[in-house]
Amino acid sequence: MRCEHLLAALVALVALVGCQTGATCIRHSDCASGLVCGSDNLCAAPPDAAWPDAGLDAAEDGGGDAARDARTDAGADARSDAGLDARADARGDAQPDAAIVTDPRDNVGTGDGSQLGPEPRPDASVPHRDYSLPEAAP
């Protein structure tokens, strides 16, 4: 094969696969930032665990791996925090609402269109004492 033919074949091959840059990958750096190349040659979100070889390579290229791991950890933490916050908010919203007992008699009309707030209820935990005078014996 002459050099011109080899060059033409290379150019054609590059043009053929030039558009194939989507989700397929061979190396991690083929994927967008934050994604890794999976065993099926597709870019995917990294698992929560660190890369299998991160420990081996940490000593020699800790910068790159550390940055990727930091992004991964940050993402996982953010997702975890968001989930916890959402659940906490849901509990916080549900409990006070459930504790409030609404009674239409609590709203007392004042005659001028406005309404007073609910009357304070007697506290059941405080024992009721009767301060009325005893009746005289016959």
Q: Would you say 51 and 43 are in contact if contact means Cβ atoms under 8 Å apart? A: no
Which residue's CB is nearer to other proteins, number 43 or number 76? Answer: 43
Closest CA to 51 of 24, 3, 23, 62: 62
Q: Using CA atoms, how far apart are residues 18 and 96, in angstroms rounded to an integer?
A: 60
Taking the complex as a whole, how short is the minimal distance between the CB of residue 27 and other proteins, in angstroms? Answer: 5
Q: Is the separation of the CB atoms in 103 and 92 below 8 Å? A: no
Helix (DSSP H) and strand (DSSP E) numbers for the chain: 2, 4
Which of 51, 118 has the CB closer to other proteins? 51
Residues that bind other proteins (CB under 8 A): 3, 6-7, 10-11, 13-14, 17-18, 20-21, 24-30, 36-41, 51-54, 57, 60-61, 63-65, 67
Shortest distance, CB of residue 93 to other proteins, whole angstroms? 44
Nearer to other proteins, 9 or 108 (CB): 9
